[in-house]
């Protein structure tokens, strides 16, 4: 009888801790001090207890203003990742911004997550990663395959371009009298970082997203000529779009102080735009976040201050 009571108590205790685990899941956010990561943290703090959030960053001291626990987390140091993931149930894996060794870094994180018992990973991939001609696609597909074979539940968010990738160039375009690129008349279905952050939060805080791959893009497609026209409309100045060859654009970017390899990559991505790599009219993103994505006009207005 005594043993029966012990077994009953142990069983009840295990059930209790299982329930606790369900309702008090810790979520780790990699790259939490980055532009996207900060938005994700801020939005999650409005939905869950701050004590259930962990910033996983290279420099924890830079995360002090986030108001959540911060742990040292360097994709390039696999031996240290496991301890940092202790107690983490859900992991937001914001893709590395390294162009050279990205897949290995992601593999380090996925392996550490598996060893630490992480139950679910939300990964930020690339729009149409499996068919894109963009050089970035290969790294993302390899990472997606690592996730699929890891045995960990996953949700893959294939993010299109950030609108800020282009609007950050607006002040320079206004000063120089033209918006420059090598995208021809390719359509861009971009969305803002805030739109993509809302998608991450929606997937984290709602059920039914396990095993899903979402192609995420803005509701409104535009060309760089259209962007230049919107800049002209809002400034009252004539700011045309000047299309350059891939080589010319890369050389120009290099003259602005951008490293050669990165300048070539940017010009190559613009060529991908001309091939339709960043166009998507499925409106999956707006359906996921429950609102229209941010209009281009709003982003231009913000960039102009």
Residues 178 and 32 in one domain: no
- Identify whether 119 is part of a domain: yes
Model confidence at 113: pLDDT above 90: yes
Q: What is the CATH number of the domain that holds 79?
A: 3.40.50.720
**Do 107 and 151 fall into the same domain?**
yes
**Boundary of a domain, candidates 116, 139, 159:** 159
| 48 and 145 together in one domain | yes
Q: Is residue 196 part of a domain?
A: no
Q: What is the pLDDT of residue 25?
A: 80
> Does some domain include residue 286?
no
The model carries a pTM of 0.90
Q: What is the pLDDT of residue 1?
A: 45
Q: What is the pLDDT of residues 255-294, one digit of tens each?
A: 999 999 999 999 999 999 999 999 999 999 999 999 999 9
- Give the model's confidence band at 21: pLDDT under 50 very low, under 70 low, under 90 confident, else very high: very low
Q: Are residues 91 and 148 in the same domain?
A: yes
Percent with pLDDT over 90 in the chain: 90
Q: Give the model's pLDDT for residue 4.
A: 38
- In this predicted structure, the answer to whether residue 92 has a pLDDT above a threshold of 60 is yes
Q: Check residues 17 and 59 and name the one with the higher pLDDT.
A: 59
105 and 175, same domain (yes or no): no
- Flag whether 150 is in a domain: yes
Claim to verify: residue 143 and residue 174 sit in the same structural domain: no
Q: In what order do the strands lie in the sheet with 213-216?
A: 69-72, 53-57, 26-30, 88-93, 120-126, 153-159, 213-216
On whether both 298 and 187 belong to a single domain, the answer is yes
Tens of pLDDT, residue by residue over 61-87, are 999 999 999 999 999 999 999 999 999
Residues 22-62 pLDDT 10s:
445 899 999 999 999 999 999 999 999 999 999 999 999 99
Residue 118 and residue 237 share a domain: no
The answer to whether residue 289 is domain-embedded is: no
Q: Convert the pLDDT of each residue in 174-203 to its tens digit.
A: 999 999 999 999 999 999 999 999 999 999
Kindly state whether residues 155 and 170 are assigned to the same domain. Answer: no
Q: What is the radius of gyration, based on Cα positions, of the chain?
A: 22
Q: Is 127 a member of any domain?
A: yes
- Going by pLDDT thresholds of 50, 70 and 90, the confidence category of residue 99 is confident
26 and 135 co-located in one domain: yes
Residue 2 has pLDDT above 60, yes or no: no
Residue 266 included in any domain: yes
Q: What pLDDT, on a 0 to 100 scale, did the predictor assign at position 98?
A: 84
The model's pLDDT over 201-218, given as tens digits with 9 standing for 90+, comes to 999 999 999 999 999 999
Q: Give yes or no: residues 221 and 110 share one domain.
A: no
Q: How many domains does the chain have?
A: 2
Query: Residue 83 sits in which domain range?
Result: 2-159
In a domain, 149, yes or no: yes
- Do 31 and 126 belong to one domain? yes
Q: What is the pLDDT of residues 119-142, one digit of tens each?
A: 999 999 999 999 999 999 999 999
- Compute the mean pLDDT over every residue in the chain, rounded to the nearest whole number: 92
Q: What is the mean pLDDT of residues 104-121?
A: 97
Instruction: Give 56's strand partners.
Output: 30, 71
Looking at residue 174, which CATH number applies to its domain? 3.90.25.10
Residue predicted with more confidence, 170 or 19: 170
Helix axis angle for 102-116 and 136-148, nearest 10°, is: 20
């Amino acid at each position: 009888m005594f043993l029966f009571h012990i077994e009953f108590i142990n069983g009840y205790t295990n059930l209790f801790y299982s329930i606790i685990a369900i309702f008090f899941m810790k979520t780790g956010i990699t790259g939490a001090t980055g532009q996207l990561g900060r938005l994700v943290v801020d939005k999650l703090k409005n939905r869950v207890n701050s004590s259930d959030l962990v910033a996983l960053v290279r420099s924890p001291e830079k995360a002090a203003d986030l108001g959540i626990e911060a742990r040292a987390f360097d994709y390039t140091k696999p031996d240290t990742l496991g301890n940092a993931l202790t107690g983490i149930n859900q992991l937001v894996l914001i893709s590395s911004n390294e162009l050279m060794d990205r897949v290995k870094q992601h593999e380090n994180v996925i392996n550490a997550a598996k060893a630490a018992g992480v139950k679910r990973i939300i990964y930020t991939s690339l729009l149409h990663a499996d068919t894109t001609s963009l050089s970035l696609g290969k790294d993302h597909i390899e990472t997606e395959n690592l996730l699929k074979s890891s045995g960990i539940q996953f949700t893959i968010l294939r993010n299109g371009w950030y609108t800020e990738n282009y609007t950050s160039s607006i002040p320079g375009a206004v000063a120089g009298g033209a918006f420059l690129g090598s995208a021809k008349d390719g359509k861009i279905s971009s969305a803002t970082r805030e739109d993509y952050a809302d998608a991450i939060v929606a997937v984290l805080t709602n059920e039914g997203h396990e095993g899903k791959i979402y192609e995420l893009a803005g509701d409104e497609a535009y060309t760089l000529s259209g962007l230049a026209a919107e800049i002209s409309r809002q400034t009252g100045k004539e700011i045309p779009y000047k299309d350059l060859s891939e080589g010319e654009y890369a050389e120009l970017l290099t003259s602005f102080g951008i490293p050669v390899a990165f300048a070539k990559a940017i010009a190559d991505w613009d060529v991908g735009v001309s091939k339709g790599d960043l166009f998507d009219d499925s409106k999956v993103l707006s359906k996921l976040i429950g609102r229209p994505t941010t209009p281009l006009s709003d982003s231009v207005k913000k960039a102009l201050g």
